[in-house]
Structure 1
């Protein structure tokens, strides 16, 4: 199965607490990290693929290999093959470190990397997967899955925020635990729910 997420921001202490930007009611980054890991692994199996649309972590040390190893250790705890799309807080040095420590899982690399984004097709739709929201114009069969804006939503029905802080979970019939990636079925619910919401506004 395929899953989607963004903006995990592992180790990002400044995001802790309740705010309009990124509500994260945790006392420590360790609590936040573990909550994401637990909820991720409860939903995703080792044979699944998760598309992470940027901003994996915010943790920098000197020497850099200390923080890079800490991020790698967390990613190795997460089930599935990870397709990583570079966010504004993901530097190329981290991607190079992850690639250097890559390994085979399910007959393919644990980590796959994209600087800008990638495209998948499912159920007669095309999904453009990017970190930043894209303005695609009127293209009803093309959906942009993105992160970056945390607890905000783009006022365009073809843009779906899949970050862990997204408010667009309001379109889902069941609550998704914090940090659990979204399935294609849940993405479909968000797309249809946002479309119906926009149609009601006419």
Structure 2
């Protein structure tokens, strides 16, 4: 049986970022334990030919390029990076460690795709309006770590947001509670 390429979405893995353990809803005892759990969870749902849209804040301690590269290489699927605030070395300059990873396409601040026949706008930051927001377009964002409710057809896809469960999720999973047909 052949496998069709699936799309997945998530944000704010913050690999290696110990502060996430105390400032966000992360049930891990150490950054290493968190990293290993996030990698396990990712690889439990993503297959090698799938695509994962990562909506920013991939890793911390970006100066340790070998560690970041090792984590990246262990994650299944092709990966697209939508830039988050922690992905820059300085304003408007992608961190060189992230720039050297094998992303599918050039990392960007926002991106549109389609999934399940719907237009999807991706950004690290929540928007009150977005391209197509009044015509049924869905918006996935991160940054807020589950603390900012969505507006209309938008939602937080951060690993620690409600319903995400510390793993990449599909469009269908992320929009299960939305009235997509009523929005068109």
1:16 aligns with 2:16: no
Superposition deviation, residue 73 in structure 1: 1.0
Post-superposition CA distance 1:15-57 (Å, at most 9, x none): 114x5xx211211100000000001101100110000000011
TM-score, with normalisation over the residues of structure 2?
Answer: 0.83
1:134 aligns with 2:121: no
Structure ID, larger Rg = 1
More helix by share: 1
- Out of 95, 114, 134, the position equivalent to 1:121 is 114
1:97: which partner in 2? 97
Q: Distance in 1 between matches of 2:134 and 2:104?
A: 31
- Out of 160, 169, 175, the position equivalent to 1:182 is 169
Q: Distance in 1 between matches of 2:116 and 2:167?
A: 22
Superposition deviation, residue 165 in structure 1: 1.1
Give the number of equivalent residue pairs. Answer: 172
- Out of 80, 105, 121, the position equivalent to 1:112 is 105
The 1:98–1:89 alpha-carbon spacing in structure 2 relative to 1, beyond 3 Å, is closer
Larger mean CA deviation between 93-102 and 110-119 belongs to: 93-102
Query: Which sections of structure 1, spanning at least 5 residues, go unmatched?
Result: 103-109, 170-175, 196-202
Query: Which sections of structure 2, spanning at least 5 residues, go unmatched?
Result: 1-5
CA RMSD of aligned residues (A): 2.4
2:10: which partner in 1? 5
- Out of 28, 32, 35, the position equivalent to 1:33 is 35
Post-superposition CA distance 1:61-101 (Å, at most 9, x none): xxx3xx12211110110000000111001115665434435
Superposition deviation, residue 121 in structure 1: 1.5
Contact 1:140/1:158 (<8 A) preserved:
no
| 1:12-91 equivalent positions in 2, closer than 5 A | 12-17=17-22, 22-60=24-62, 64=63, 67-91=64-88
